Amino acid sequence: MNGHAAGGVSPLLSDAVSRVSGQDPAACADRALLLADDLGVDSLALAELIEVISAKAAIVIPDEATGRVRTVGDLQDILDARAPGTGTT
């Protein structure tokens, strides 16, 4: 179990996106949200977001993976691949 509902995101990720974007965590839990267009996350904020996720999940996210990130779901996929137990209650 990965700690998030099918189609949703882990609490770790929604909290991290919320922290960087300034949006409510519940508003950041949709995988389809575009980081730039829907949440106002620019390239500098994305770098900060990657640092927050890396620190909270104790993982390394390579630059080549972050270059393909466009949505909250893209971040959740990276998190699932690199820290499969993250968010488990």
Q: For 15-62, write each residue's pLDDT tens digit.
A: 999 999 999 999 999 999 999 999 999 999 999 999 999 999 999 999
The length of the chain in residues reads 89
Residue indicated by tokens 């974007």: 21
Q: For 2-23, write each residue's pLDDT tens digit.
A: 455 445 799 999 999 999 999 9
Residue 66 burial class via C-beta count within 10 angstroms: exposed 0-12, middle 13-18, buried 19 and up: middle
Q: Which domains does the chain have, with CATH numbers?
A: 11-82 (1.10.1200.10)
